Amino acid sequence: MTETLPSPASPLKIGTRGSPLALAQAHETRARLCAAFDLPEDAFEIVVIRTTGDNAALIAADKPLKEIGNKGLFTKEIEEQLLSGGIDIAVHSMKDMPVDQPEGLVLDAFLPREVPFDAFVSFGTASIDALAPGATVGTSSLRRRAQLLHRRPDLKVVEFRGNVQTRLKKLREGLAEATFLAMAGLNRLGLEDVPATPIPTEDMLPAVAQGAIGIERRSDDRRAARLLEAIHDAETARRLAAERSFLATLDGSCETPIAGLAELSGDSLRLRGEILRTDGSEALSDDVTGAVEDGPEIGRDMALRLLSKAGPDFFTRN
């Protein structure tokens, strides 16, 4: 690259949230950049930015996110710092990202995707089916809540917000018999001792983009673009193009139970999608295989089919 590389004297600033998982993702990004360009760690500065969503977790720990705002809760302040030049790139969990970026920003670099599965986590029960009738399960995810109640309408679901460590603490305190976490987060944090059982995607389809890390930059920053090209994973990008097209057509938000997963096999892409009523009383799904390059079109068409089946009141009537 012709642009000047970062150095300890002039480091590239990497913006992130401050949770252990967010920091692990920022550290992974830094490690990949260091390896790609043979640079020392201090050529990159990790900048922690507190978001509205982080503040809400402290102020209203038991209030559902849908009552506080949308997915921008976890990105707005970071993107403001990116636009103002306070940071050079921003590392995000892709399942938190709105499908549209603010003017002047692009999100076109992705790290290799971790496993997308949800994990059933309990200190006393082996699986969803093994839960006693009426048992309490904690989750803040509308998708997981709806999927669980669709399968086990007898269960009681309570709000369970916070980072991985906070939710595990609540579980140990007996506030719920079980909860769900993303296997990707547990793997990135090295939490092998957590009693987590991966849930097959046939039983619980994950959130769109679960397990994927995206790196956002200013659209006119050529240096950042060249740096990120070296660590970009094209397979992850192709999978997310289909999933996020599906999500965008559904106009998905944290107020809508939506699941989606794209998988590649050679030149073929398989996309599975699901939408649910918020109380779990009904679920609609679709499963399509096509050419990899047609991923965005497959995602859009699948969303339109599901919306046609659902009718206008599907997401609002329980």
18-22, 28-32, 287-291: which range is least confident on average? 18-22
Name the domain boundary from 176, 198, 220: 198
Instruction: Give yes or no: residues 187 and 74 share one domain.
Output: no
23-55 pLDDT tens trace = 999 999 999 999 999 999 999 999 999 987 666
CB-facing half-sphere around the CA of 314: CA atoms within 13 A: 19
- Could you tell me if residue 2 is inside a domain? no
Which domain range does residue 31 map to?
12-111+212-232
| From 63-72, 193-202, 217-226, 292-301, the region with the lowest mean pLDDT | 63-72
The Cα–Cα gap between 125 and 50 comes to: 35
| 3-class DSSP state of 174 | coil
**What separation, in Å, do the N-terminal and C-terminal C-alpha atoms of the chain show?**
55
Burial 48-79 (b: 16+ CB within 10 A, else e): ebebebbebbeeeeeeebeebbbbbbbbbbbb
Q: Do 16 and 85 share a structural domain?
A: yes
Q: Is 267 a catalytic residue?
A: no
- Are 259 and 149 within one domain? no
Distances in whole angstroms, Cα of residue 161 to Cα of each of 3, 66, 158, 225, 276: 43, 12, 10, 35, 21
Residues 221-238: what's their mean pLDDT?
98
pLDDT number for residue 161: 81
Q: Do 259 and 172 share a structural domain?
A: no
Q: Answer yes or no: do 102 and 224 share one domain.
A: yes
Task: Give ∠ CA 56-145-250 in degrees, rounded to 5.
Answer: 85
In a domain, 318, yes or no: no
Q: Could you tell me which of 284, 286, 289 has the C-alpha nearest to residue 315?
A: 284
Residues 38 and 187 in one domain: no
Are both 152 and 167 inside the same structural domain? yes
* Residue 63 confidence class, pLDDT cut points 50, 70, 90: low
Instruction: Identify the CA nearest to 33 among candidates 318, 309, 230, 306.
Output: 230
Please give the share of the chain, as a percent, with pLDDT higher than 70. 91
In a domain, 292, yes or no: yes
In this predicted model, which residue has the larger pLDDT, 36 or 314?
A: 36
In a 3-state reduction of DSSP, which class is residue 112? coil
pTM here is 0.91
Domain-located, residue 5: no
In this structure, the number of other CB atoms found within 10 A of the CB of residue 168 comes to 20
Give domain status of residue 314, yes or no: no
Q: Which of 38, 42, 54, 96 is catalytic?
A: 96
Give the pLDDT confidence score for residue 60 in this predicted structure.
47
**Secondary structure (3-state) at 212:** coil
Choose the weakest-confidence range: 96-110, 166-180, 191-205, 252-266: 252-266
Q: What is the mean pLDDT of residues 296-312?
A: 94
The tens digit of pLDDT for each residue in 99-150 reads 988 999 999 999 999 999 999 999 999 999 999 999 999 999 999 999 999 9
Dihedral sign from CA coordinates of 54, 56, 59, 63:
negative
207 lies in some domain: no
CATH number at residue 173: 3.40.190.10
Number of domains within the chain: 3
